[in-house]
């Protein structure tokens, strides 16, 4: 059986207002890097599209560094070309970006206090012709939102977690996740290392 190419997104995106200010989130990329390491360790061609993080590239992984959501979307489209691929979208992509980005640092007197935003592309909806796995990092019970994403974005499953739970938030080395499937099925896992979560994700992908 031919192994699929894994394209993994990781980390945050930064949406700049000017060269020194941006909108972002606390994602460290640990989950995505763990998935990429696991896939490469199984012998899969693996491309890691990463936002700005302070992590070393896993062995055997081709890494593409990006900053913004639009850059990440373009890099993913390029990465899935030419081979049966599965997209594992762990990145915490900014849903919105400033409508304008100044070419120089804005002075306080030039800023009105109101920031106009425009929506970023939804990478999972935009990328076609590949198998897709999503993530849902929520506050509170994540199953309903994960099920919605699974149906609307035509995903094989969504890895859902509650970021307010101890040991399962941004920056942790552990996570407690649930796999949510399009038919409403849910598979729940105990708190475990992100590397072990990555193993479960790759197991599920290669089982299909």
Query: Which tokens hold the place of 190?
Result: 């105990």
Q: Say how far residue 145 (Cα) sits from the centre of its chain.
A: 16
Residues whose CB is less than 8 angstroms from the CB of residue 180 and which lie 6 or more positions away in sequence, other chains included:
136, 142, 143, 146, 147, 150, 157, 158, 160, 186
Residue 120 falls in the annotated catalytic set: no
Q: What's the gap between Cα 206 and its chain centre?
A: 19
Cα 110 to Cα 29: distance, rounded to the nearest angstrom: 34
As given in the structure block, the two tokens for residue 76 are 């993913």
Tell me the torsion sign for CA atoms 132, 137, 142, 144.
Answer: negative
Cα 161 from chain centre: 13
Reduced to 3 states (helix: H, G, I; strand: E, B; else coil), residue 73 is helix
Q: Which residue numbers are catalytic?
A: 25
């Amino acid at each position: 059986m031919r192994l699929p190419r894994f394209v993994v997104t990781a980390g945050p995106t930064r949406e700049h207002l000017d060269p020194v200010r941006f909108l972002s989130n606390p994602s460290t990329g640990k989950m995505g890097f763990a998935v990429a390491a696991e896939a490469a360790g199984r012998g899969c061609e693996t491309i890691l599209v990463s936002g700005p993080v302070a992590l070393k590239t896993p062995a055997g992984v081709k890494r593409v560094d990006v900053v913004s959501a639009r850059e990440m979307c373009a890099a993913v489209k390029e990465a899935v070309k030419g081979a049966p691929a599965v997209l594992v979208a762990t990145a915490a992509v900014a849903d919105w970006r400033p409508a304008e980005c100044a070419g120089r640092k804005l002075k306080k007197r030039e800023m009105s206090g109101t920031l106009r935003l425009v929506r970023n592309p939804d990478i999972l909806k935009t990328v076609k012709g590949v198998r897709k796995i999503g993530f849902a990092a929520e506050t509170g019970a994540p199953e309903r939102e994960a099920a919605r994403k699974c149906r609307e974005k035509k995903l094989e499953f969504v890895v859902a977690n509650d970021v307010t739970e101890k040991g399962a938030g941004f920056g942790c080395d552990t996570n407690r996740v649930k796999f949510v499937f399009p038919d409403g099925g849910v598979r729940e896992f105990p708190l475990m290392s992100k590397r072990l979560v990555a193993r479960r994700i790759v197991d599920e992908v290669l089982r299909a």
